A and B are shown apart, each in its own frame.
Chain A
Amino acid sequence: MKQTSHQFSENVTRALAEPTLKIALDRTTTLLRTRRAKVIDAFPEYAKARETAQKIKDHTLDNLGHYLRQFEENAIASGAQVYWAATPAEARKTVTDICKAEGAKTATRVKSMLGEEIGIGEALADAGVERIETDLAEHIIQLAGDPPSHIVMPAMHKTQEQVAELFAAKHKEPSEEQDVTSLVGSARRELRAKFMNADISISGANFLIADTGSFVTVTNEGNAELTTTPPKTHIVTVGIEKIVPSLKHAAVFLRLLSRAAIGTEITQYTTFFNGPKRDGDRDGPENLHIVLVDNHRSDMLSDFLRPMLRCIRCGACMNHCPVYAAVGGHAYGAVYPGPMGSVLTPAMTGLKGSKDLPNACTLNGRCREVCPVNIPLTDMLRALRAKQFDEGMPTPMTKWALRLWGVMATRPALYRFGTGVSNMALRLLARGRGKITSVPLAGGWTRTRDLPEPEAGTFMQQYKKRR
């Protein structure tokens, strides 16, 4: 997708004006938050599981070179071919070359964020291969021509009504009813034959297992297995941080991933793959290609963004982010939206083109609280803000305002006088109505929301009065 993070504020304006977006986001994020809370409450071992998961990821990252070499050796022994790509362009070229060598015409695809990150659609188009998305949400956005707006639920921005309209227009045998069950049935009919007849299948992997050379996919629809079994060739593109030492280490994450993402104890389908079809097997691909992608992950290892490599892509941070819930995933203008995206996008594509993202955060800390691997998202977002300032990126206006704030904050008497004056001014603006609908010079803030009327007196004034 074309990155538009540099025009974040235009994106937000558009998102806020979109009449159905807020409805779709509210319906979905509310349900996901409720379900997660319920399943975590019923898991008294959660705190220990989270701590264990964090330790495993830290250990694996500390020994990443060892584990990647071990994985490579075991995967090759199982009959897979392993490739390494430093950049998205290299990864795309690898995929394009495999498709061309196979003479492939169609490819079925299992959703993976790494695929989005490297631009797998472009790679297939370059090889002249028709791409068929099989995850229901990816199928919806492929029909709509939209980029994904969430890492677990890419069609989160669509309402049920919009999906019904889309399927009625694009499916061969659309359902007459517009309830969700009928819509899902319509997609099932549409995709069945395509699963069976594709030349190539493409997936990501949720985990790589170093000591067996396996890779793991998790889905609720069963589309990973249906997609990757019939075609002759299966291509896996995966980030190098997805590795864990062993099968039993993976089990720790499987318990957390689905609880955090959708509020269930395990996904319906968890599959451990080892190499291509074997002698006597009745199904499975003859060729298996695994592309290991770096794309700045090795850079993140040596700076303050290192903890971000623990991320297992559950999406809980965005489901609990008030900014995400207001503007949706597209406003971020990048592959990874929400809090985790605001850390990853600058790391992968540079801070310059995404400098608004670390600022699109209230630092309320809910993202970190719900993160199953305890990533200090708010600390990193704050550090990215500091880095912007050090690199001279803020506008002159912001720099002036911060300097003024610095002067005030280091002079208590001046600070109290200033806040006392603004408190009075705001109370005057409220004119006893309990809210302020416009503030001079702050139209950008009050155009879309009201400010509450402040209390009578600043904190210090009230404190002195009551002491």
Chain B
Amino acid sequence: MSRDAILRKIDNANAVRMSSDVAAAAAALIAEPDGYRATFAPQSVYDRFVAKATSETVTATVEDIASLEALPEAVAAYIANNELVPRIALQPRDSLTELNWSGFETVDQAQMNETLAVTFADAAIAETGSLVFRTAPDAPVLLNFLPLHHLVVVRRSSILPHMEDAFDHFGTTADAQRRSLNVITGTSGTADIEAKNVRGAHGPRFMHIYCVTD
């Protein structure tokens, strides 16, 4: 059987190289992460996140809102400013669905050509201006990928400095993993034609982030 033959070849090639304590050797390699990742002190985690998320390469926009209750009004303003139809594909998460969405048509899953979706990010990463989404029964994947306009809510307190912090926050063991963890940094882009950067390749063309400051 191929499995055993492949592993046997690998073990033979590595006979004299294998570490005696693999876990300790692996941990030692990443013991000092600040040496090899982009640090940004004295800039605050919030300022770094906003600076990166709105940078030329990430292309999102960020707006502070005082509380979740202020979200529907803020979304209404976005829809009006962009002259969109008042239809929202709303992530079916209680904290979002229990808000007052009167005046909008809300649906709980995205259609193929959905215009706009509102979803909650479980965390954000300041280093790169990224948002972190974990799948759950009330957090399907496609809501983050199908719409043209992706409106994301994130709590200011859940902005973490680095990707490693997000791993620690949600757990690094096999059991702690959800079906998927999407780290999304801005809008869908491509450079496949003459390396020219263009937005809205397959996923969202616009990303607007509501940062809840409570």
Please report A residues at the B interface, Cβ cutoff 8 Å.
Answer: 24, 27-28, 31-32, 35, 43, 45, 48-49, 51-52, 55-56, 59, 61-66, 68-69, 74, 77-78, 84-86, 90, 134-137, 140, 153, 155, 158-160, 163, 180-181, 183-185, 187-188, 191-193, 195-196, 211-214, 220-223, 225-226, 229-230, 240, 245-249, 251-252, 254-255, 262, 264-284, 292, 294, 298-299, 301-302
In chain B, positions 138-195 with a C-beta closer than 8 Å to chain A are 140-142, 144-146, 162-164, 167, 172-174, 177-195
Number of A-B contacts (CB under 8 A): 273
Task: Indicate which residue in B18, B140, B173, B180 contacts A282 across the interface (CB closer than 8 Å).
Answer: B140
* Nearest CB of chain B from residue A35's CB, rounded to whole Å: 8
Given the interface pairs A31-B195, A155-B193, the reply to whether A229 lies near B163 with Cβ below 8 Å is no
Given the interface pairs A229-B142, A298-B9, the reply to whether A276 lies near B164 with Cβ below 8 Å is no
The answer to whether A282 touches B109, judged by C-beta atoms less than 8 angstroms apart, is yes
The answer to whether B57 touches A265, judged by C-beta atoms less than 8 angstroms apart, is yes
Measured in the bound complex, the distance between the Cα atoms of B196 and A32 in whole Å is 10
Please report B residues at the A interface, Cβ cutoff 8 Å.
Answer: 1-3, 5-7, 9-14, 17-19, 22, 25-26, 29-30, 33, 35-39, 52, 57, 92, 109, 112-113, 127-128, 130, 135-137, 140-142, 144-146, 162-164, 167, 172-174, 177-196, 198-204
The answer to whether B142 touches A86, judged by C-beta atoms less than 8 angstroms apart, is no
Measured in the bound complex, the distance between the Cα atoms of B22 and A159 in whole Å is 49
CB neighbours (8 Å) of B199 from chain A are 181
The answer to whether A184 touches B194, judged by C-beta atoms less than 8 angstroms apart, is no
CB neighbours (8 Å) of B190 from chain A are 136, 184, 220-221
CB neighbours (8 Å) of B191 from chain A are 153, 220, 262
Given the interface pairs A255-B38, A282-B137, the reply to whether A220 lies near B193 with Cβ below 8 Å is no
B176 nearest in chain A by CB position: A212
Given the interface pairs A62-B17, A248-B30, A276-B179, the reply to whether A298 lies near B201 with Cβ below 8 Å is no
Measured in the bound complex, the distance between the Cα atoms of B140 and A226 in whole Å is 12
CB neighbours (8 Å) of A35 from chain B are 195
Measured in the bound complex, the distance between the Cα atoms of B112 and A136 in whole Å is 18
A185 nearest in chain B by CB position: B200
The answer to whether B182 touches A283, judged by C-beta atoms less than 8 angstroms apart, is no
CB neighbours (8 Å) of B5 from chain A are 86
Given the interface pairs A24-B194, A221-B203, the reply to whether A68 lies near B7 with Cβ below 8 Å is yes
Measured in the bound complex, the distance between the Cα atoms of B173 and A212 in whole Å is 6
Measured in the bound complex, the distance between the Cα atoms of B192 and A159 in whole Å is 10
The answer to whether B194 touches A45, judged by C-beta atoms less than 8 angstroms apart, is no
CB neighbours (8 Å) of B198 from chain A are 180-181, 184
CB neighbours (8 Å) of B39 from chain A are 45
The answer to whether A273 touches B193, judged by C-beta atoms less than 8 angstroms apart, is no
Task: Indicate which residue in B30, B141, B194 contacts A249 across the interface (CB closer than 8 Å).
Answer: B30
Q: Which of B144, B145, B167 has the most CB of A within 10 A?
A: B145
* Nearest CB of chain A from residue B140's CB, rounded to whole Å: 4
* Nearest CB of chain A from residue B127's CB, rounded to whole Å: 8
CB neighbours (8 Å) of A196 from chain B are 112
The answer to whether B192 touches A140, judged by C-beta atoms less than 8 angstroms apart, is yes
Measured in the bound complex, the distance between the Cα atoms of B202 and A270 in whole Å is 15
* Nearest CB of chain B from residue A464's CB, rounded to whole Å: 50
The answer to whether B172 touches A212, judged by C-beta atoms less than 8 angstroms apart, is yes
Measured in the bound complex, the distance between the Cα atoms of B4 and A84 in whole Å is 9
Measured in the bound complex, the distance between the Cα atoms of B109 and A273 in whole Å is 21
The answer to whether A283 touches B185, judged by C-beta atoms less than 8 angstroms apart, is no
13 further A-B contacts with Cβ under 8 Å, apart from A277-B179, A281-B135, are A48-B35, A49-B36, A84-B3, A135-B192, A137-B192, A188-B202, A213-B174, A226-B145, A268-B189, A274-B177, A284-B180, A294-B6, A294-B9
CB neighbours (8 Å) of A32 from chain B are 195
The answer to whether A281 touches B140, judged by C-beta atoms less than 8 angstroms apart, is yes
Measured in the bound complex, the distance between the Cα atoms of B192 and A105 in whole Å is 28
Query: Can you give 14 contacting A-B residue pairs, CB < 8 Å?
Result: A48-B35, A59-B25, A59-B29, A65-B11, A74-B174, A180-B196, A212-B177, A220-B188, A221-B201, A254-B163, A268-B187, A269-B183, A272-B181, A272-B183
Given the interface pairs A49-B36, A52-B36, the reply to whether A65 lies near B10 with Cβ below 8 Å is yes
* Nearest CB of chain B from residue A48's CB, rounded to whole Å: 5
The answer to whether A136 touches B192, judged by C-beta atoms less than 8 angstroms apart, is yes
* Nearest CB of chain A from residue B109's CB, rounded to whole Å: 7
Measured in the bound complex, the distance between the Cα atoms of B188 and A247 in whole Å is 24
* Nearest CB of chain A from residue B63's CB, rounded to whole Å: 21
Closest 3 CB pairs of A and B: A222-B203, A280-B137, A301-B13
Measured in the bound complex, the distance between the Cα atoms of B127 and A255 in whole Å is 10
Measured in the bound complex, the distance between the Cα atoms of B96 and A50 in whole Å is 42
CB neighbours (8 Å) of B204 from chain A are 222
The answer to whether B145 touches A222, judged by C-beta atoms less than 8 angstroms apart, is yes
Measured in the bound complex, the distance between the Cα atoms of B181 and A68 in whole Å is 22
A45 nearest in chain B by CB position: B36
Measured in the bound complex, the distance between the Cα atoms of B92 and A418 in whole Å is 82
The answer to whether B163 touches A251, judged by C-beta atoms less than 8 angstroms apart, is yes
Measured in the bound complex, the distance between the Cα atoms of B204 and A295 in whole Å is 38
CB neighbours (8 Å) of A140 from chain B are 192-193
The answer to whether A283 touches B201, judged by C-beta atoms less than 8 angstroms apart, is no
Measured in the bound complex, the distance between the Cα atoms of B102 and A372 in whole Å is 52
Q: Which of A184, A193, A214, A252 has the most CB of B within 10 A?
A: A184
Q: Which of B1, B3, B144, B180 has the most CB of A within 10 A?
A: B180
CB neighbours (8 Å) of A240 from chain B are 6, 10
* Nearest CB of chain B from residue A313's CB, rounded to whole Å: 16
Measured in the bound complex, the distance between the Cα atoms of B191 and A140 in whole Å is 13
Measured in the bound complex, the distance between the Cα atoms of B59 and A264 in whole Å is 13
Task: Indicate which residue in A252, A264, A275, A282 contacts B36 across the interface (CB closer than 8 Å).
Answer: A252
B113 nearest in chain A by CB position: A192
Q: Which of A31, A280, A282 has the most CB of B within 10 A?
A: A282
* Nearest CB of chain B from residue A161's CB, rounded to whole Å: 10
* Nearest CB of chain B from residue A67's CB, rounded to whole Å: 8
The answer to whether A160 touches B174, judged by C-beta atoms less than 8 angstroms apart, is no
B203 nearest in chain A by CB position: A222
Q: Which of A55, A63, A254 has the most CB of B within 10 A?
A: A63
The answer to whether A230 touches B188, judged by C-beta atoms less than 8 angstroms apart, is no
CB neighbours (8 Å) of B203 from chain A are 221-223, 225-226, 268-269
